[in-house]
Amino acid sequence: MILVASSAFFTSCQNSAKGKTFCDTTCSNDSIKFTGNKDQKLSISIKSCKPEAIIWENKNNKRIIEFNDYINKDVKMNPSFVNCAFGDSSTWLSFNDCITGRGYLLNLPYSKNAAIGTYKAALNSFDKKFFVDPDLRAYTDGGNIYVVNVTNGNEAQMTFREAYQMDYDDIHKSIDSIHVAKDRIYVKLIKDGAEVPLEKPVSL
């Protein structure tokens, strides 16, 4: 189940970034909350306009982490650019930083013995040039694009044929656009000012 955040009363936060931002940096000091099936819940607490802690649970377990222990950058969240996909064994949290537009993914297992997955170069569909099927999540390491289906766990990968030195805070210098579906991955890269389109059939 994939859900978009519920939001509450908004208060103004000072935006230290200059020029146009990826999304409105007006923030809420109330928690961003999601609910799923089978007693599944996730909440992001906000303090001084910044995410502070993430709490998620199902009928068997409840876990909490400090946001900065996993994302050690100054991130501004807008509830319209956050979503959550609840699975049987974990919850996938997706969001983009409103200042830079950088995408992030967290795979949050319910089991306290399972490691948390942190992806700091996510290619989220909040970006208008990134189409990603709602059941899929995509991220890169500069030399590949990785895709996971959060409903069944199937994964796929496509190589860029070389490693790109990407600035993930300014991703469109290297990746113009993507179209990620369950049967096809398409990426339009930028190299020395020229477009480099790549695609691969997949089964997700």
pLDDT higher than 70, residue 20: no
pLDDT higher than 60, residue 40: yes
* Angle, alpha carbons 174-201-158 (nearest 5°): 40
Cβ pair 139, 146 in contact under 8 A: yes
Mark whether 30 and 91 lie in a shared domain.
yes
pLDDT at 38: 79
pLDDT, tens digit, 9 for 90 and up, residues 120-162: 999 999 999 999 999 999 999 999 999 999 999 999 999 999 9
pLDDT at 124: 97
List beta partners, residue 45: 53
Q: Is residue 21 part of a domain?
A: no
* Angle, alpha carbons 10-1-107 (nearest 5°): 80
Residue of 93, 160, 155 lying closest to 120 (CA atoms): 93
Mark whether 204 and 105 lie in a shared domain.
no
pLDDT higher than 70, residue 14: no
Average pLDDT of span 174-194: 97
Residue of 111, 94, 87, 104 lying closest to 32 (CA atoms): 94
pLDDT at 21: 72
pLDDT, tens digit, 9 for 90 and up, residues 58-76: 999 999 999 999 999 999 8
State the greatest distance between any 2 C-alpha atoms of the chain, in Å, as a whole number. 52
First to last CA, the chain: 17
Average pLDDT of span 85-107: 94
Q: Is residue 17 part of a domain?
A: no
pLDDT, tens digit, 9 for 90 and up, residues 159-173: 999 999 999 999 999
| Banded pLDDT at 47 (limits 50, 70, 90) | confident
Mark whether 114 and 44 lie in a shared domain.
yes
Please compute, for residue 92, the number of CA atoms within 13 A of its CA located in the half-sphere on the CB side: 25
pLDDT at 7: 39
How far is 116 from 159, CA to CA, in rounded Å? Answer: 25
Q: Is residue 15 part of a domain?
A: no
How far is 92 from 149, CA to CA, in rounded Å? Answer: 11
Q: Pinpoint the alpha helices (H) of the chain.
A: none
The count of structural domains within the chain is 2
pLDDT at 27: 65
Residue of 79, 92, 70, 78 lying closest to 149 (CA atoms): 92
> What does the DSSP assignment read for 151-164?
TT--EEEEE-SS--
Domain boundary among the residues 122, 147, 182 is at: 122
| Banded pLDDT at 6 (limits 50, 70, 90) | very low
pLDDT higher than 50, residue 10: no
* Residue recorded with tokens 């020229």: 194
Domain boundary among the residues 71, 93, 122 is at: 122
Which structural domain, as residue segments, surrounds residue 71?
Answer: 1-6+26-122
